[in-house]
Structures are given as C-alpha cells and as structure tokens.
Amino acid sequence: MNSLNFEHELNLQHTSSHNSNLLDPEEFRRQGHMIIDFLADYYADIEKYPVRSQVEPGYLHKRLPKSTPHDPEPIKTILQDVQDHIVPGITHWQSPNFFAYFQCSSSIAGFLGEMLCTGFNVVGFNWIASPVATELETIVMDWLGEMLNLPKSFLFSGNGGGVIQGTTCEAILCTMVAARDQMLCQIGRENAGKLVVYGSDQTHSALQKAAHIAGIHPKNFRAIKTTKSTSFALSPDSLRSTICADIEAGLVPLYLCATVGTTSTTAVDPLGSLCDVAKDYGLWVHVDAAYAGSACICPEFRQFMDGIEAANSLSLNAHKWLFTPLDCCCLWVKDPSALIKSLSTNPEFLRNKASDSKQVVDYKDWQITLSRRFRALKLWFVLRSYGVANLKNFMRSHVEMAKLFEGLVAMDKRFEIVVPRNFAMICFRVLPSTMGRGAYQNGKVVDNGQKLLKEEITTANELNQKLLESMNASGRVYMTHTVLEDMYVIRFAVGASLVEERHVIMAWKVVQEHATAILSNN
C-alpha cells in the first residue's frame, strides 16, 4: 500500500472511530457551542433579514445535492449551508418586525428548557417511563392554572387536571372525542350521525378539523354567523335558536367551542351566557383561549375569562404569548376520567405496578399519541426564570405598543380601525372614501345605489390587498389579513419577544409610505 492510500485509510478509520460515539461529551460540547454562537449571531442580526422569506417555490432543490452524502461532513460546513441556503427560506417569526398571525414568542429560558428536553430525550408516556416528566407537568399545570385564577375544579389540587398537548387542534380533538363517547353511551353508538358541533364563523378552523376526525357528519357542523354589531362575538340567542332547530330536526347537540381571542379580530365570546345555554341542552363546552389566555394572568384581562367555571375544558398556547417555544398547548379538564375512558389503551408491555395502583397519572391516556416529550421543562424554566410579575409586564408592554399603533392609525383619516381592540392586535384598513367621489361622502354611505356601493367595497378590498402585498414584499414588515363582512382587513399583531416601540413606529411609517404610493397611482 503506497503512502497516499495508507493515509486515506487512516482518515477513514479516524472518521469511523470519531462517529462511533454519537454522544461523545467533548464533541457535543464543541459543536454545541458552535450552534449557540450561530443562534446568538442570528438574533443579533435578525433585523437585517427580510421578515417574510422572499424565495420562490422549489428554490431549495436547486441549491442542495440530489442525494445524501456518502461520507461525514463537518459541522462547520453544514452551518455554512444553513446560513447560505436555509436562512433565506425562513420567514423570521422571531423578528421584531413580525406582526403577522399571532406571534410564536420565545425566550432564553424557553430555549434552555427545550435544550434540556431534547438532551434528556425521555419518552414520558406513563409515570414509570420517567416519573419526573409526569410529576413536573402536573405541578406546572397547577401553577399556571393558579396564575389564571382558574376554579379549583380544573386543577389537580381539585378533581380536575392539566396536560400539555402539542397544539389547540389536539386539545379540541381530545375533548370532542371524550364528549362524543360520553353522549353515545347515553344515546347509543348507532346515533353517532345525529351529533352536532357548534362554534361561530370566527371560531378557529381547528374545530371543523377536529369534528371531521371525530366522525361528526359534515352537515352537523355549525359555524353560527357573527356580526360587527356584537364585535364578532357569538350571540347566546343565536346559539340557542340554532340548537332548538337542530333538536326539532331530530339531531343531538354535543359540543360548543367558545373563544377568548379569535384569530381574525381577538373577539371574546360571552362565556357565562353561552355556558348557560349549553347547560340547558347538555353540551360539552370547550374554551379556546389559544392566543389571549396567557394575558388573563393579568387582573385587567381576567374579566374575559368570566364564566369559565361553567365550562368543561380550557386550552391556551403558551407558545403564542407566554414566551415558551413551540409546541406547548396547555389543556385543563374538569373530568380527566372522560379523556381517559376515550383515549386509554393498556397493552401488556406497558403494564406496571404504579399504573395498576391508580395512584399516578399516565399522560398517554390524555392525548392522541402514545409517545410524548418532556415539554413541562421549558414551561417550568419560563415560569421560574421570569416570575409572574415579569411575565405580566412583558404582556402589558405589548398591549401598550398595540395602543400606540391604534392611536397612529386613528390620526390618519385615510384609515379606519374596523373592530375594537381587546388585547394586542389591531384590525385596520384604508377607507373606501380615500378613492374619491362615489357612494361615500365624509365617510358615510350616500344614496348613489347599492351597485355603486358594492363596486367601491370591491375596489377598497383590492386596494387593501395591494397595500398588504406591497408592504410584505418590501421585507421591512410582515402582516396578515382577514375578511369581515366582505371587508378585506389588515391585522397588526404585537407580540414578538424582541419588539420595541421603535419597531411599531417604523411599521406605521411603512404602512403610510406604501398607502401614499398606491393611492397616488390610483
């Protein structure tokens, strides 16, 4: 063997030896520091990136090799490719100029807890599989429940309890399946086709998806119309009349999803009144507080949860506004046994004395999947690292910044705020009256005919859509939209962990600049 081939063989042996320990502590330390440095630099530079990714569909296939590398590649090379090819395809959810959807907020504490979760990599499907994963989760869910001033009936310290799901979709599906099985025990499984699920036309699409998966007939899904006159909240009278019509048709009311902080407008459904209606007809009431629930740790927002004591279940996403990385949906139920009866399986290979004793929680029976991550660690880190007082202040600062933006919009007569602000999100649009004479004069409809009015609404919608696309294409900000009573409306949500007043002021300047340019062209 010549010296060149011998050296090549030694290199291959070294590579094989190096990779034989996939969790070598020193190599983990070296590469881990590189990843932390990379992320720290990313956050230091995050404002330099276009907020919404500017790539075209299929861009990555043109940049990466067609197949997996045969030989190992160094972390330095991989990280360079992350910078060159992965980062351009990211829409930067953690950017302080991200005002779209609802933010997926994060924090150093959340990162560190997530690192520990991944590092321990335990699968806590039952208590015995890792007792601390279960016990920490029960403790943290009671902590957060007490911060929200939930009735004791939702806590482990009462007769209820909490579980960390992945998303609201899972929380709604699990509770709907529990409600379905409870009802079918009363009326017989042959009547499954009669079950009806209720929400408003503002309820998140997760409800319809869950109903589909749970076997609810598509014709038995009710999205009850809301109006601007009620700020797009679900009317108890409308709910009652819909239920009565279904009962007269021989159907069986099953499940109501009420919302605290809808996606389109952050509307708040009147929980107490809705629960009164639901009680009359035996519905399971789930409260979806995915976005706004976190804010209810502040006394000034807790009023939006009034009536929760009559509901059956409640969920909120700590990964939206409680600075805990995705995924972390907190679900509380008054009757855990309802979940367990519907979702438990007990194969022999999972049998153990602790479970048989009925003295422990086996979270596999509270969720769709068997396996589960140690998510409680990151929530525990966040709650401990910042404390209740700071968490309240973080959210209050976001609300104050939303108020600032609201005031700026109100001062520009070309725009209107479409619905009242409840939390930290503003719905606004350019007014049709900015486009000159027609069906509007001084912001009011005049008698020029409905056809002209519809034409102006259509034109206004096109204008606002063009404005949003123009702003997002600039890369300076990212916002999203909704449609309310045929009006195309721009949503401005404040909630990024890094956002400051200067970002809000800059965003408003972007709105004004692009609106001026578009209106002058029109």
**CA-to-CA dists, residue 259 to 147, 274, 401, angstroms:** 20, 11, 24
Q: Which residue has the higher pLDDT, 301 or 522?
A: 301
Burial class (CB in 10 A: 0-12, 13-18, 19+), 151: middle
Task: Tell me the C-alpha distance between 433 and 445, whole Å.
Answer: 9
| pLDDT, position 348 | 83
Which residues, 6+ apart, have CB-to-CB distance to 317 below 8 Å? 167, 168, 290, 291, 293, 294, 328, 329, 330
What average pLDDT score do residues 130-138 get? 95
Rounded distance between C-alpha atoms, residue 118 and residue 270, angstroms: 40
pLDDT recorded at residue 457: 81
> Could you say which architecture CATH assigns to the domain 162-345?
3-Layer(aba) Sandwich (3.40)
Per-residue confidence band for 455, with pLDDT thresholds at 50, 70 and 90: confident
Q: Percent of the chain scored above 70 by pLDDT?
A: 93
Q: What is the pLDDT of residue 451?
A: 60
Measure the CA–CA gap between 156 and 340, rounded to whole angstroms: 15
Return d(Cα 74, Cα 72) in angstroms, integer.
7
pTM, entire model: 0.91
CATH of the structural domain 7-92, one choice from 3.30.70.3270, 2.60.120.10, 1.20.1340.10, 1.10.150.130: 1.20.1340.10
Nearest to 343 by CA among 353, 354, 331: 331
Helix (H, G, I), strand (E, B) or coil at 358: coil
Predicted confidence band of residue 454 (pLDDT cuts 50, 70, 90): confident
Average pLDDT over residues 129-134: 93
Q: Where are the domains of the chain?
A: 7-92, 162-345, 391-521
**Mean pLDDT (whole number) for 314-342:** 96
Average pLDDT over residues 351-358: 86
Q: What is the rounded average pLDDT of the residues 203-223?
A: 96
Strand partners, 195: 252
Report residue 450's pLDDT band, with 50, 70 and 90 as the boundaries: low
Number of H helices, E strands in the chain: 16, 13
Cα–Cα separations (whole angstroms), residue 216 to 210, 289, 334, 367: 9, 23, 23, 19
Whole-number mean pLDDT of the chain? Answer: 91
Residue 366, C-beta contacts closer than 8 angstroms, at least 6 positions apart:
163, 174, 336, 339, 340, 343
Give the CA radius of gyration of the chain.
26
pLDDT at 356: 85
Cα 452 from Cα 90, distance rounded (Å): 43
Integer CA distances (angstroms), 520 to 195, 219, 227, 303, 434, in order: 54, 48, 33, 45, 10
Question: Quick check: 439 pLDDT over 50?
Answer: no
- Indicate whether 12 pLDDT > 70: no
Coil vs helix vs strand at 273: helix
For the stretch 54-98, pLDDT in tens is 999 999 999 999 999 999 999 999 999 999 999 999 999 999 999
What's the DSSP call for residue 83? I
Is residue 435 very low, low, confident or very high in pLDDT (cuts 50, 70, 90)? low
Provide CB contacts within 8 A for 254, sequence distance 6+. Answer: 176, 179, 180, 183, 195, 196, 197, 216, 283, 284
391-521 homologous superfamily: Aspartate Aminotransferase, domain 1 (3.90.1150.10)
SS3 156: coil
Which tens digits make up the pLDDT trace of 19-51? 578 989 999 999 999 999 999 999 999 999 999
Please give the single-letter amino acid code of residue 278.
Answer: A
Give me the percent of the chain exceeding a pLDDT of 90: 84
